[in-house]
């Protein structure tokens, strides 16, 4: 079955409320969407939402790349060769992971719709549904406590707290008070977004009861992380440092700087590259943490399918669609007591299905 047409569009969508991380405040998100239509009318959908500060690409750049000749040359190709086409896309756009991800997702979706199965069914489900964390941005302590309690009332079992934007003493007070407020059954994860130095990281580790710490030091400081105690390194999550399979290979060498890999489709270029990272991590005994940017449910669901197809998946942080004022592709999963459950019915409007 051949590809008849490839269409794309760009959208800017406001967030329900602005949020702050250690380096920036966000009030909206830019997204790009791709549709791949087959000769029989089946349409596969994909989306891109790259973080320019991490990968050097934004959605406007992705949209420009999606108008280029290498994309249109996929028209007329047999969708059954979708994996080969993804490899070609990765070679054609090596510096544009958002472009890669949008096309990877659309090609996966078109092929699986052609077979009348889901992406998750195609690869096979290896883990049971997991709870996703939800994010608390940098804000005053009392406000953060109120937001945390509201999330707990909504059924969430894991909270990710943005830190690193103020004094370390503030972060320690916040994390301690959060633990006192939500109790011991709620998982707390800290994400300083490269905002700590070694001393600050050790202070957080020694004084706070938390499950994980994402990307504590700036990219390029991984050698320093290798000198830290093993117990601490096992709870460190590679995020901005981990941009694809090549960086994954560098981080599995002992002593390993990270015990967990944060895989984001928008950072590595889609499902195919994500599963390559997952395989590298599996052989090295590294657990997987699936993250996201602010994204539509379309790409969040694709990440969920990829996550559940990998046996070393242990953590989810796929809350990126919760913040959108409007989601162009709602559906694809549901939340039950904080766990993300792929929907068991067809979702023609969502671009992914189970």
Residue-wise pLDDT tens digits, 220-272: 999 999 999 999 999 999 999 999 999 999 999 999 999 999 999 999 999 99
pLDDT band at 344 (very low <50, low <70, confident <90, very high): low
Task: Render 185-204 in DSSP notation, one character per residue.
Answer: TSEEEEE-TT---HHHHHHH
What's the CATH number for 3-116?
Answer: 3.30.390.10
Q: Decide whether 3-116 matches 121-342 in CATH topology.
A: no
pLDDT band at 94 (very low <50, low <70, confident <90, very high): very high
Res 347 pLDDT > 60: no
Res 348 pLDDT > 60: no
HSE, side-chain direction, 13 A CA sphere, residue 311:
5
pTM for the full model?
A: 0.94
Element (H, E) at 163: none
Res 74 pLDDT > 70: yes
What average pLDDT does range 213-217 have in this prediction? 97
What average pLDDT does range 72-86 have in this prediction? 98
CATH architecture of 121-342: Alpha-Beta Barrel (3.20)
CA distance 228 to 122: 40
What average pLDDT does range 116-127 have in this prediction? 96
CA distance 151 to 148: 5
Predicted local distance difference test score (pLDDT) of residue 331: 87
Domains in the chain: boundaries: 3-116, 121-342
Question: If you average pLDDT over every residue of the chain, what do you get?
Answer: 94
Closest by CA position to 178, among listed 211, 146, 140, 145: 145
């Amino acid at each position: 079955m051949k590809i008849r047409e490839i269409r794309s569009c760009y959208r800017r969508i406001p967030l329900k409320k602005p949020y702050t991380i250690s380096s920036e405040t966000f009030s909206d998100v830019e997204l790009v969407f791709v549709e791949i239509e087959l000769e029989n009318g089946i349409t596969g959908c994909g989306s891109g939402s790259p973080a320019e500060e991490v990968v050097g690409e934004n959605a406007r750049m992705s949209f420009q790349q999606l108008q280029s000749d290498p994309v249109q040359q996929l028209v007329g190709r047999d969708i059954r060769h979708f994996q080969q086409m993804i490899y070609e896309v990765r070679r054609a756009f090596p510096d544009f992971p958002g472009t890669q991800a949008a096309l990877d997702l659309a090609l996966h979706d078109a092929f699986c719709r052609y077979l009348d199965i889901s992406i998750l069914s195609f690869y096979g489900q290896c883990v049971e549904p997991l709870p996703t964390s939800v994010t608390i941005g940098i804000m005053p302590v009392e406000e953060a406590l109120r937001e945390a309690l509201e999330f707990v009332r909504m059924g969430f079992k894991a909270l990710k707290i943005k830190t690193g934007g103020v004094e370390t003493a503030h972060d320690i007070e916040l994390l301690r008070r959060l633990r006192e407020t939500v109790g011991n059954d709620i998982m707390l994860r800290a994400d300083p977004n490269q905002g700590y130095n070694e001393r600050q990281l050790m202070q957080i580790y020694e004084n706070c009861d938390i499950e994980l710490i994402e990307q504590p030091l700036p990219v390029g400081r991984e050698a320093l992380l290798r000198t830290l105690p093993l117990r601490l390194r096992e709870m460190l999550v590679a995020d901005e440092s981990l941009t694809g399979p090549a960086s994954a290979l560098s981080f599995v060498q002992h002593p390993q700087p990270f015990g967990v890999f944060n895989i984001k489709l928008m950072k590595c270029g889609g499902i195919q590259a994500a599963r390559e990272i997952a395989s590298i991590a599996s052989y090295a005994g590294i657990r997987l943490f699936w993250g996201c940017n602010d994204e539509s449910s379309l790409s969040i669901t694709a990440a969920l399918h990829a996550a559940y197809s990998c046996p070393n998946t242990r953590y989810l942080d796929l809350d990126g669609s919760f913040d959108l004022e409007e989601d162009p592709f709602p559906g694809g999963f549901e939340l039950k007591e904080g766990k993300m459950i792929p929907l068991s019915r067809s979702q023609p409007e969502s671009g992914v299905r189970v």
